[in-house]
Amino acid sequence: MTFPDERTVIVTGAGSPRGIGRVTAHRLAAAGWSVGVLDLDGAAAEAVAAELRDTGAAAVGLAADASDPAPVDAAITEVERTLPPIVGLVNLAGISSPKPFLEETVEGWDRIMAVNLRSVFVMAQRVVPGMIERRLGRIVSASSVSAQRGGGTYSKSAYSASKAGILGLTRALAREVSEFGVTVNAIAPGPIDTDIMGGTLTPERKADLARDVLVGRVGTQDEIAALIAFLLGPDAGFITAATVDINGGLQIS
C-alpha cells in the first residue's frame, strides 16, 4: 500500500520533559505525522501536544495508563475521532527498577511488568485490528540493552526481564501480522541521558556508564528518535521481527 500523507502515530510515555517520547513526538511531527501523545500524566501529554500544534502539526494529548485496556480504548477512540488513521505505534512507556533481586517485591515486580510489558500488549491489541484492515502498520517498542546483558547499566532483574519480554512479544506478534502489511520491531538502547536512569546524569555518572561503550559516551534522545522515525517510515517495510541495537557498542550482537 502507498504510504499515506495523512497518518497518525501514537507515542506512549511521551509526557516527560526529558524523555525519549517527547523528542520522538517532535521528530515524527516534523516528518509529517499527526501525533497522539499518551502519558499517565494527562497535563504533561497535552503540554507536549500543544508544543506540536505550535509547529503546525496535528496532535492530541491524552491521559492513559497504557497497561489498562479501558483508558487505552477511550484514548485511542478519541485519537481515531480527531486525527487521521493510525499507522504507527511507538511503545515508550516504562519505569526503571534499580532494586537487587533479593530486595524486589512481588508488588514491585508486577508494577514493572505492567508498565513495561503489559502496556505493549494492551496498546498493540487495540490498534492492530485497524492496521490489519488498512493493510499498513508500523509498531516499534523500546526494549533495552539490559534485556540482552542482564542489567549492568542502572536497573536490575525485574526491569531486564520486562524488557526481554518485549523482544519475545515483538517477534511473536510480527509472525502473526506481518503478512497484513504490519511490521513489528524493537529497539534496544544502551545508556541514554534520561530521567529513567535515576535522574539527570552528572558528568561523573556519564563517564561511568560510558566506560564500556565503544564510542565513549552515552546516547541522546535524538539518536533514539531518529531510529524510531526510520523504522516507522516507508523505507522500513522489509524490516520486521527485528531487534535493532543502538548502544554505542556496549553490546555486540
Residues designated as active site: 159
Q: Can you tell me the distance from the alpha carbon of 203 to that of 128, in angstroms, rounded to the nearest whole number? A: 42
Torsion of CA 165, 168, 171, 175, to 10 degrees: -110
- Which of 37, 53, 9, 16 is CA-nearest to residue 229? 9
Q: How many CB atoms lie within 10 A of CB 32?
A: 13
Q: How many CB atoms lie within 10 A of CB 102?
A: 6
Q: Can you tell me the distance from the alpha carbon of 25 to that of 49, in angstroms, rounded to the nearest whole number? A: 9
What are the cell numbers at 84? 487521521
- Which of 84, 111, 83 is CA-nearest to residue 97? 111
Q: Can you tell me the distance from the alpha carbon of 190 to that of 182, in angstroms, rounded to the nearest whole number? A: 26
Do 72 and 80 meet the contact criterion of CB atoms below 8 Å apart?
no
The answer for residues whose C-beta is within 8 angstroms of residue 107's C-beta and 6 or more apart is none
Phi then psi for residue 24, to 5 deg, are: -65, -45
Q: Can you tell me the distance from the alpha carbon of 170 to that of 240, in angstroms, rounded to the nearest whole number? A: 9
Long-range contacts from 146-152, C-beta under 8 angstroms, 24+ separation: 147/188, 148/188, 148/245, 148/251, 148/253, 149/250, 149/251
